[in-house]
């Protein structure tokens, strides 16, 4: 995971020397919004109107942050409106890369070799991490946003008039309940697995580890009597959580040393993640080959010989989730 400094690529890992060995994630910098009429959103500038065939997503099938956007693209029926380019799972000295010899891993727009070239195409002297997802505007040839939590909110509502899809995963009535869930889950679990895996001091690791499993215990109890995080209604809180849970047993448990329990050891959480995985179209957004290859092959500070495990067996995700009885009302 390198970065750009004044538009020049540098293979530079995260520096934990000034944070007590704690991994600190850099905030996303590019945060404009697509809106139905192109008026400015909560941040950034205006001019990004929701249109057919105007926007493009750059993603990694391994990355949980990018996975969120693919889930919302599916849930909101946007596959025919927003195209996608997928990077190769091995993130080495050049960061996220494309493969010209594999059309499934090529930059469909410009034939770029590396994702950092997309960043400098938008901002020639960009300084910062080069991350996915990237929401690209083909009309203005610039990045709309590289902040996943805001991209999914755009996808949730900005294109409704074009698609006729009125599903709302951020309903007004539940926002006060969603906000603290999002905050806790992001800090201790979504980002918490990285805080465990990338810690360089024992104290920093144990701090993150404790917070992570406190949250998993909290979620296990919360899901004992309700189908989703906010009762009987699927919300963005569920779909922000899902990409982390579906990767947990495959990579975070071992590779990132999050090994007190697996998700399969939590009856309610395991049923819950199967419920979401089996939601129509969602399993097609999950690629365990990309997930395993990326984490185990890319992080040579953790796995210097780049050995990719064959396990664990992932077949249980297809078992009946048996959670429908917890919901007495239909989804939104």
Give me the active site residues, please. Answer: 63, 194
**Whole-angstrom Cα distance, residue 315 to residue 281?**
17
Q: What contacts 218, CB < 8 A, 6 or more positions away?
A: 184
Query: Residue 286 in contact with residue 274, Cβ under 8 Å?
Result: no
**Whole-angstrom Cα distance, residue 237 to residue 93?**
34
Pairing of the two strands 3-5 and 128-129? antiparallel
Query: Residue 242 in contact with residue 189, Cβ under 8 Å?
Result: no
**Whole-angstrom Cα distance, residue 30 to residue 12?**
21
**Whole-angstrom Cα distance, residue 41 to residue 48?**
9
Helix axes 64-75, 236-247, angle to 10 degrees: 130
**Whole-angstrom Cα distance, residue 274 to residue 317?**
5
* Token pair belonging to 13: 């890992």
**Whole-angstrom Cα distance, residue 32 to residue 46?**
7
**Whole-angstrom Cα distance, residue 32 to residue 27?**
14
Rg value, the chain, Cα:
19
3-state helix, strand, coil in the chain (%, to 5): 40, 10, 50
What separation in angstroms does the CA of 129 have from each of 4, 9, 26, 281, 300? Answer: 6, 10, 7, 31, 19
Query: Residue 243 in contact with residue 148, Cβ under 8 Å?
Result: no
> Residue 136: phi, psi to the nearest 5?
-110, 140
Query: Residue 215 in contact with residue 181, Cβ under 8 Å?
Result: no
């Amino acid at each position: 995971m390198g970065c750009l400094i004044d538009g020049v690529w540098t293979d530079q890992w995260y520096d934990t020397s000034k944070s007590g060995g704690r991994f600190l994630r850099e905030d996303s910098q590019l945060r404009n919004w697509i809106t139905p009429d192109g008026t400015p959103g909560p941040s950034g500038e205006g001019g990004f109107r929701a249109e057919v065939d105007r926007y493009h997503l750059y993603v990694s099938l391994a990355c949980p942050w990018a996975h969120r956007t693919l889930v919302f693209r599916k849930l909101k029926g946007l596959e025919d409106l927003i195209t996608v380019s997928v990077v190769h799972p091995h993130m080495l000295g050049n960061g996220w890369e494309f493969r010209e010899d594999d059309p499934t891993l090529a930059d469909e727009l410009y034939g770029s070799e590396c994702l950092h070239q997309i960043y400098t195409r938008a901002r020639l002297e960009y300084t910062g991490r080069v991350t996915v997802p990237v929401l690209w505007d083909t009309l203005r040839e610039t990045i709309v946003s590289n902040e996943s939590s805001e991209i999914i909110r755009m996808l949730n509502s900005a294109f409704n008039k074009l698609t006729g899809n009125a599903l709302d995963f951020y309903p007004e009535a539940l926002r006060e309940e969603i906000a603290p869930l999002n905050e806790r889950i992001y800090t201790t679990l979504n980002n918490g697995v990285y805080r465990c895996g990338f810690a360089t001091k024992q104290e920093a690791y144990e701090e993150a580890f404790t917070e992570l499993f406190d949250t998993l215990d909290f979620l296990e109890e919360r899901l004992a009597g309700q189908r989703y995080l906010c009762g009987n209604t699927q919300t963005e809180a569920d779909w922000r959580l899902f990409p982390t849970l579906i990767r947990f047993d495959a990579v975070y448990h071992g590779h990132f040393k999050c090994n007190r329990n697996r998700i399969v050891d939590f009856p309610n959480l395991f049923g819950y993640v199967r419920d979401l995985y089996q939601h129509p179209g969602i399993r097609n957004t999950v690629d365990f080959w990309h997930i395993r290859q990326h984490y185990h092959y890319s992080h040579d500070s953790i796995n210097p010989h780049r050995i990719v495990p064959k396990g664990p067996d992932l077949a249980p995700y297809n078992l009946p989730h048996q959670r429908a009885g917890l919901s007495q009302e239909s989804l939104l």
